[in-house]
Structure 1
Amino acid sequence: MTKGEETRQMIIERSAPIFNMKGIAATAMSDIMEATKLSKGSLYVHFDNKDTLAATVVDYNLQLLSKRVAAELGRYDNAKDKLFAFIDMYKDPLNPPVTGGCPMMNFGVEADDMNEAVRVKVAKNVDKSQQLLIDIIRQGITRGVFNPDWNYKEFATLMFALIEGGVMITRNTKKSDKMAIISRNLKKMIGEQTL
């Protein structure tokens, strides 16, 4: 990497948790200046404006989450274990896998009415996450782990929605009891489809 590329990457990495915690609208360039120790002029050398930086940071946060999920699931070969690992990644939303919380939740809620480009990025990641769950279950059915009659596409949607809802409830109430209920019941539902 050139010095300029290193600086650009540093700006992204230090800005990522700020945007994820405060949101795009509430994050000021002064927040980024403080985190990076760069002047506004230096920031604008690497990013035309706050919106360009925000779009790059949204991508970075979403990719970071995807990489952490892939790394965790990659530790397991069995489809049931992979599904349980996915659930467990989100079991403590007060200590999330990405600083500031789930970027799909955070950016998605903010962008649904205000920022079409970010909404599309989040929507693609929602679809990608659900497809990951579908693929895991399909593989489990093929390998004889799960009931072949399982309506797994519907379950993948339900599982994803319950987890994201649990993240929202926990982050807002600062209590993990509802997420524990969601995790326990999802695992029970998976167990009922296990051969």
Structure 2
Amino acid sequence: MNKAEKTRQFIIEKTAPLFNTKGVAATAVTDIMEVTQMAKGSLYVHFQNKEELSYCAVDWNLKQFMDKISAEAEKYTGAKEKFFGLLDYLSDPLNPPVQGGCPMMNFGMEADDTSPVIREKVHQTICTVQQGMVDILEQGMADGIFNPNWNYREFALKAYAMIEGGILVARVSKDITQMKMLVDILKREIDEQTIVRK
């Protein structure tokens, strides 16, 4: 990267947690100037406006989230172990993988009525995460680990929705008790669908 590209990347990485924590609308240019220690004019050399920077910050947050959960899944070989590993990794929303919390939840709720561009970015990431969950379960089905009659696609959808709901409850209540219960429920269902070898 040349100097301009490095500066642009620096601005994105410094402001990404800010946007994810405060939200796009609530993040002021003065906030951006403070975290980057840059003047307004210097910022606008690299970005047309706050909107363009916010799109880049959303992309960065979503990519960080995806990279971290992918890396977590790669620690395991078996499908069941992978799914359990992901559930454990996401089970403490008070200490999230990305600073500020789940970017899909944060940006998705805010952009629902305000930004079609950000809404679409979040939608694509949700689809990718859900497909990733399906892929893990499909691996287990192909390996003969799970009950062949299990509707694993339906389970993946339910698991995703329960995790996102658990994140919301935990973040609002500042308590992960219910999230832990949801993770246990999902693990029990996976156990019930696991074929026991004799």
Taking structure 2 as the reference length, what is the TM-score of the superposition? Answer: 0.97
Give CA deviations for 1:147-172 in whole Å, capped at 9, x if unaligned.
Answer: 11110111010000000000000000
Q: Superposed, which structure 2 residues align to 1:92-171 within 5 Å? A: 92-171=92-171
Q: Which residue of 1 aligns with 2:193?
A: 193
- Structure 1 counterpart of 2:126, one-letter code: V
Q: Superposed, which structure 2 residues align to 1:59-98 within 5 Å? A: 59-98=59-98
- Structure 2 counterpart of 1:23, one-letter code: G
Give CA deviations for 1:44-77 in whole Å, capped at 9, x if unaligned.
Answer: 0111000000001101100000000010000111
- Point out 4+ residue stretches in structure 1 off by more than 6 angstroms: none
- Give me the identity figure in percent: 51
Q: Secondary structure at the match of 1:64?
A: helix
Shift of 1:30: 0.8
Q: Distance in 2 between matches of 1:85 and 1:115?
A: 33
- Structure 1 counterpart of 2:124, one-letter code: K
Give CA deviations for 1:73-92 in whole Å, capped at 9, x if unaligned.
Answer: 00111000110111112111
Q: Which residue of 2 aligns with 1:58?
A: 58
Q: Distance in 1 between matches of 2:83 and 2:2?
A: 40
Q: Which runs of 5 or more structure 1 residues have no equivalent in the other structure?
A: none
Q: Which residue of 1 aligns with 2:31?
A: 31
CA-atom RMSD in angstroms: 0.6
Q: Which runs of 5 or more structure 2 residues have no equivalent in the other structure?
A: none
Q: Secondary structure at the match of 1:58?
A: helix
Shift of 1:100: 0.2
- Structure 2 counterpart of 1:26, one-letter code: A
- Structure 2 counterpart of 1:38, one-letter code: M
Give CA deviations for 1:97-136 in whole Å, capped at 9, x if unaligned.
Answer: 0000000000000001111111111011111111001111
